């Protein structure tokens, strides 16, 4: 059933859009029927999140700040290195980088466009409220040879992604009956494993767990051998990081018949946008959702919880399943900001009045808790970190 407002909070705008995508996954590919309200809201509801207007839900790692030209600048600071870059962003070596009031004052002294441009050059996750996405939501980047899979073949998915969007796509593919292996760095495991273990467990249940030392030539070679045996790869690395891993995605797609390679990005997989950092909250802003809220409420704020992540995870799963059905190898880029913009446009076309009513309700609910959704029960074990490394990479690699 489409998502409806709960008794304890407003519906998350775009939950009905997500619900229609999940209905199509169930209809076309036999997945269990999930609903949009659950996938968009379960982290916020079960984490005790509150609707906080211009401060993102959860730990408040992203803020919408007014700028000199009347714009609004989304700045996400979830890593210490992001704060260390703030003096360069604002051109102020004396800036108190842990003082939110000082950061807000510095933002107000600059124009939004200039901050977004400079922030992206520095590698910061930033956005402006009036951006237009520079990339398509879904883009075919490379084509290869076709492969005919036998009836009953269980596809192998190598999930190199982290946090939420990519792992959620892998989770939905696991629900479609695929063999999914989650690959993490020995030195830098997926941050969500530590920061939000409940969500980590939900979207990584049933996946095998591999650890790889990406400074080891041998271990990287074993991983590439695994990729050559795979049907699907999911990754969310910027081009420089992928090169550091020793992985040439385009070459592997040309080499391995039928390989579907999903590249999850903040803002696009080609040109300079491929190097821009994007996280769910700021990508939602770049996709126009905060502007849509302001248009109907007169107030600027975040909508949902890192909403571009679950929207992209759902789109990623649908995209992979279609590509596997076609059989031809291809590399596909997803832009989280453009997927948000696509969802906004499609929801307006589907039922503009209902969408704007949900935005108004969301705006009125600042200060209240996230809408209640029941936590999904785990239906498969969560494998200990690195437990399946030897099984999938061949020789035993010491943990």
Number of C-beta neighbours around residue 212 at 10 A: 22
Domain hosting 328: range is 1-399
pLDDT of residue 398: 43
Q: Return the closest-CA partner of residue 74 out of 343, 373, 289, 324.
A: 289
Main-chain dihedrals φ then ψ at residue 216, nearest 5 degrees: -100, 120
**Could you give the number of structural domains in the chain?**
1
Strand, helix or coil for residue 225: helix
CATH of residue 231: 3.40.50.10540
> Mind listing the pLDDT tens digit of every residue in the chain (399 residues)?
334 434 467 999 999 999 999 999 999 999 999 999 999 999 999 899 999 999 999 888 999 999 999 999 999 999 899 999 999 999 999 999 999 999 999 999 999 999 999 999 999 999 999 999 999 999 999 999 999 999 999 999 999 999 999 999 999 999 999 999 999 999 999 989 998 999 999 999 999 999 999 999 999 999 999 999 999 999 999 888 888 888 999 999 999 999 999 999 999 999 999 999 999 999 999 999 999 999 999 999 999 999 999 999 999 999 999 999 999 999 999 999 999 999 999 999 999 999 999 999 999 999 999 999 988 999 999 999 999 999 999 754 444
Strands of the sheet containing 62-66, edge to edge, are 62-66, 72-76, 126-128
Distance of CA 18 to the CA centre of its chain: 14
pLDDT value at residue 244: 81
* pLDDT given for residue 254 in this prediction: 97
pLDDT digits 0-9 by tens, 312-367: 999 999 999 999 999 999 999 999 999 999 999 999 999 999 999 999 999 999 99
Supply the pLDDT for residue 69.
Answer: 98
Per-residue pLDDT at 396: 41
C-alpha closest to that of 164 among 24, 302, 43, 342: 43
* pLDDT at 395 (0 to 100): 54
């Amino acid at each position: 059933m489409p998502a409806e407002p709960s008794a304890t909070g407003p519906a998350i705008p775009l939950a009905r859009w997500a619900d229609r995508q999940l209905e199509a996954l169930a209809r076309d590919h036999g997945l269990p029927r999930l609903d949009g309200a659950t996938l968009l809201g379960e982290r916020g509801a079960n984490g005790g999140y509150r609707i906080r207007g211009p401060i993102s839900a959860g730990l408040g790692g992203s803020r919408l700040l007014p700028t000199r030209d009347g714009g609004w600048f989304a700045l996400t600071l979830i890593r210490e290195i992001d704060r260390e870059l703030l003096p360069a962003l604002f051109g102020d070596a004396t800036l108190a980088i842990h003082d939110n009031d000082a950061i807000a004052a510095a933002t107000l002294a600059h124009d939004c466009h200039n901050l977004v441009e400079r922030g992206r050059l520095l590698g910061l996750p930033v956005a402006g409220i009036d951006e237009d996405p520079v990339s398509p939501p879904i883009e075919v980047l490379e084509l290869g040879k076709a492969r005919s899979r036998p009836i009953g073949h269980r596809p192998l998915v190598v999930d190199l992604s982290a946090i939420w969007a990519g792992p959620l796509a892998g989770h939905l593919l696991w629900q479609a009956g695929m063999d999914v292996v989650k690959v993490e760095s020995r030195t830098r495991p997926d941050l969500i494993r530590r920061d939000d273990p409940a969500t980590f467990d939900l979207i990584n249940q049933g996946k095998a767990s591999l650890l790889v030392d990406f400074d080891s030539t041998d271990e990287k070679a074993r991983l590439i051998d695994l990729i050559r045996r795979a049907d699907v790869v999911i990754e969310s690395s910027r081009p420089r990081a992928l090169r550091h891993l020793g992985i040439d995605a385009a070459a592997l797609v040309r080499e391995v018949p039928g390989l579907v390679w999903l590249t999850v990005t903040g803002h696009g997989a080609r040109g300079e946008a491929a190097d821009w950092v994007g996280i769910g909250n700021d990508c939602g802003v770049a996709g126009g959702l905060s502007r849509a809220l302001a248009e109907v409420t007169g107030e600027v704020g975040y909508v949902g919880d890192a909403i571009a992540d679950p929207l992209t995870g759902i789109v990623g799963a649908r995209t992979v399943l279609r590509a596997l059905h076609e059989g031809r190898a291809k590399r596909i880029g997803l832009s989280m900001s453009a997927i948000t913009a696509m969802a906004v446009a499609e929801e307006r076309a589907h039922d503009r009045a209902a969408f704007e009513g949900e935005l108004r309700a969301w705006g009125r609910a600042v200060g209240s808790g996230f809408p209640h959704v029941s936590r999904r029960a785990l239906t498969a074990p969560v494998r200990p970190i690195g437990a399946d490394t030897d099984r999938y990479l061949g020789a035993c690699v010491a943990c």
